[in-house]
Amino acid sequence: MPETASPRRILHCDMDAFYAAVHMRDDPSLHGRPVVVGGDPAGRGVVAAASYEARAFGIHSAMPAARAVRLCPEAVLLRPDFRRYVAESEKILAIFRDYSPVVQPMSLDEAYVDVTGRLGDFASATAIAVDIRRRVREELRLTVSVGVAPNKLVAKIASDHHKPDGLTVVPPHRVMSFLAPLPVRRLHGIGPASERALQAMGITTVADLRGLSVDQLLARFGSWGRTLFQYARGIDDRPVRTDHVRKSLGTERTFPRDLADLHAIDDLLGEMAAEVAGGLEHRRLAAGTITVKVRYPDFATHTRSMSLPVPTAAAAVIASCAHELVRRTDAAVRTVRLLGVSASGLIPCDHEQLALFEPEAAVPTDN
């Protein structure tokens, strides 16, 4: 990757097992135990998060909760508490914003921070990352892994490089060598299906991927092939965007294994709806439109939206809309690699107004 006179300094901050860590911090009896946050294992609940102790048994997000219990009978199962996670997330973001106003939250537990030209009293972006990790540990009694790099692509990969509680710094001159030996699945956007397609072409590492021409990648992956060509070389010009003017609020999850069970999808949509609702309420917003996003293994992506006669911040309403919308896709007959739920048409509301938007007050109408 060519060096520039003034390379960007981007941090990707990713909380470690965030949902589980919050519960473990607040309940000392959970310390060191395999904690699983998710739905009811007696039904069709799925895992939303797992502590590192639970991950050692092979438990991961989106796994059926019943299977998690089979893998680790001594696991402590907890239901998600998104109000608590949202409150903690705001404290975390407040710390990040002490170092730069250019903060882009990607979910409740991760964010990009652009410190280019904003080092202040710190000698380097690395020094800022060290101080962020110290403050999160001391002030919130949680841990965060941080990647430091000249762009978002590499910073995100770096933050996952030495989890949990890790710090990985990739200066511009090391980007190519850092990426080269990594499996191609570590690049943003490459999931199981595209990994299999690349393996069929003899491509397993980022270095291998660099051996394909842009024309070969375009022929196999369409327009996304050009992005793959750039990512293999550590090129990513995407800016870190702030969310001061919020037009929508949402969450999405890419699954380690494609989902084929509509009931499990419903459970996940319910959890995601609760997360979106928590974000709306915390920001004193209500949504007039709910959208579901579904991506299949071949990367075909469909969205379905629904307008509401009364704006809402109620999790039950958002979940009801999401359940109806997903049935207007092929999720019942095709496996799913990504799900998303988002709220748009946002209006400001105070807490008294939000209290009026109860589930029975909002009847979905098709958009």
pLDDT tens per residue across span 138-178: 999 999 999 999 999 999 999 999 999 999 999 999 999 99
Q: Is 257 helix (H, G, I), strand (E, B) or coil?
A: strand
Confidence of residue 278 (pLDDT cuts 50, 70, 90): confident
Region 300-312: what's the mean pLDDT? 87
The answer to whether 151 and 35 are in contact (CB under 8 A) is no
- Residue 244: the pLDDT is 52
User: Could you give the percent of the chain with pLDDT greater than 70?
Assistant: 92
Instruction: Pick the range with the lowest mean pLDDT from 204-218, 304-318, 328-342.
Output: 304-318
Confidence tier at 367 by pLDDT (50, 70, 90): very low
CA–CA distance, 287 with 237 (Å, rounded to integer): 31
Residues of the chain with CATH 1.10.150.20: 180-231
Confidence label for 27 from pLDDT (cuts 50, 70 and 90): very high
pLDDT at 354: 44
- Helix (H/G/I), strand (E/B), else coil: 316: helix
Q: What is the per-residue pLDDT for 157?
A: 97
131 near 119, Cβ under 8 Å? no
Q: What is the DSSP letter of 159?
A: H
Q: Which of the following is catalytic: 53, 88, 110, 271?
A: 110
In the chain, which residues fall in CATH 3.30.1490.100?
248-366
Report the range of poorest mean pLDDT among 111-115, 280-284, 340-344: 280-284
**pLDDT confidence of residue 314:** 87
Start-end of CATH 3.40.1170.60 domains in the chain: 18-81
- The pLDDT score that the predictor gives to residue 352 is 40
What pLDDT shows up at residue 243? 57
Lowest mean pLDDT among 13-27, 208-222, 246-260: 246-260
Tell me, yes or no, if 90 is annotated catalytic: no
pLDDT in tens, 233-248: 999 999 998 855 567 8
Q: Report the candidate in 189, 168, 188 with the shortest Cα–Cα distance to residue 178.
A: 168
Residue 131 has pLDDT above 50, yes or no: yes
Nearest in space to 295 (alpha carbons), one of 328, 266, 329, 270: 329
| Side-by-side strand order, sheet with 35-38 | 47-50, 35-38, 76-78
Topology annotation, domain 18-81 = MutS, DNA mismatch repair protein, domain I (3.40.1170)
Whether 205 shows a pLDDT value over 70: the answer reads yes
Output the pLDDT for position 246: 65
Q: Is the per-residue pLDDT at 85 higher than 50? A: yes
Question: Which is more confidently placed, 213 or 246?
Answer: 213
Mean pLDDT estimate for the chain: 88
* 315-350: burial string, b at 16+ Cβ within 10 Å, e else: bbbbbbbbbebbeebebeebbbbbbbbbbbbbeebe
Please determine, for residue 276, whether its predicted confidence score (pLDDT) is greater than 50.
yes
Choosing among 3.40.50.80, 3.40.50.2300, 1.10.3720.10, 1.10.150.20, the CATH entry for 180-231 is 1.10.150.20
pLDDT score for 349: 65
> What is the per-residue pLDDT for 100?
95
Higher-confidence residue: 85 or 171? 171
User: In this structure, which CATH number among 3.40.50.150, 1.10.3720.10, 3.40.50.970, 3.30.1490.100 belongs to the domain 248-366?
Assistant: 3.30.1490.100
Between 47 and 10, the higher pLDDT residue: 10
Percent over 90 (pLDDT), the chain: 62
Judged against a pLDDT cut of 70, whether residue 46 lies above it is answered with yes
Quick one: pLDDT band at residue 179, thresholds 50, 70, 90?
very high
